[in-house]
Amino acid sequence: MLIFIYLGIDILFLSTYCFLAVCIRRYKKKSQTIADFDNLSLKLISVRNFYVHNTIKYEYSTRFCYDDIDKIVRMEKKDEYTEYDLFVLGHELGHSIDSCRNRLFYRICLLFNILTWIVYIASMMFSVYYIFNKGKIVIELDILYWFFIMVIVARLIMTWPLEKKASNYSLDILDEIGYKIKDIKVIINLAAISQCMFYAILFLLSISVYLVVAF
């Protein structure tokens, strides 16, 4: 009975996650096109450099992201850019600012991010193996799953403040260059909730699989 409750909650969370993704996608499509994105992006980067008194490297890539290992901001190469793209660039620059000011916290987040996927994949592989080879398991699933639960909960707790702070930095940088984006604060909250729900889904799914294996 308990497994069905967890699966039901997981499906509810997954449905909500998909709904939020649709809302964010619709906002992206309606976002106004920017003609002088290159000029505005350079202004954002200049403000970011002023905030932390160092220079960030940047390059064009397949998506917007901040690489904390190489200390570089990557911008998606597109034919045309929107206001949402400008905000996302500011968001990634916000991560770079926060990384400079809270180095230890970012290192911990990076560690937990790596641990999350390693332990999650390992737990699922052992579960599948255990289902087909009962009694031949090489590691206690209890230990593996509880370790995964601790890692995922820690990652879940870290995600909200991490993403919100980067978004707030983005808004501050946009304010510095005198640029306002309509309704962006609503999308910021939806995106932060969406990321948290992603880890919550992993958490609930792992418990559901554990219950199947254990009982």
Pairing of strands 81-82, 33-34: antiparallel
Domain with 140 in it: 2-214
pLDDT more than 70, % of the chain: 92
The rounded distance, in Å, linking the Cα atoms of 63 and 87 is 14
> How many domains does the chain fold into?
1
pLDDT more than 90, % of the chain: 17
Helical (H) or strand (E) element with 176:
helix 141-176
The whole-number average pLDDT for the span 96-110 is 86
Give residue 191's pLDDT.
87
pLDDT at 145 over 80: no
Cβ count within 10 A of residue 191: 20
Yes or no: say if 58 and 75 are a contact pair by the CB < 8 Å rule.
yes
Segment among 64-68, 73-77, 101-105, 155-159 with least mean pLDDT: 155-159
The whole-number average pLDDT for the span 107-133 is 78
pLDDT at 87 over 90: yes
Q: Name which residue leads in pLDDT, 152 or 31.
A: 31
The whole-number average pLDDT for the span 159-167 is 87
140 band by pLDDT with thresholds 50, 70 and 90: low
pLDDT at 118 over 80: yes
pLDDT at 149 over 90: no
* CA distances to 58, 191, 192 from 83, in Å: 19, 16, 19
89 band by pLDDT with thresholds 50, 70 and 90: very high
The helix/strand count (H/E) of the chain reads as 6, 5
Give residue 141's pLDDT.
65
The whole-number average pLDDT for the span 172-178 is 91
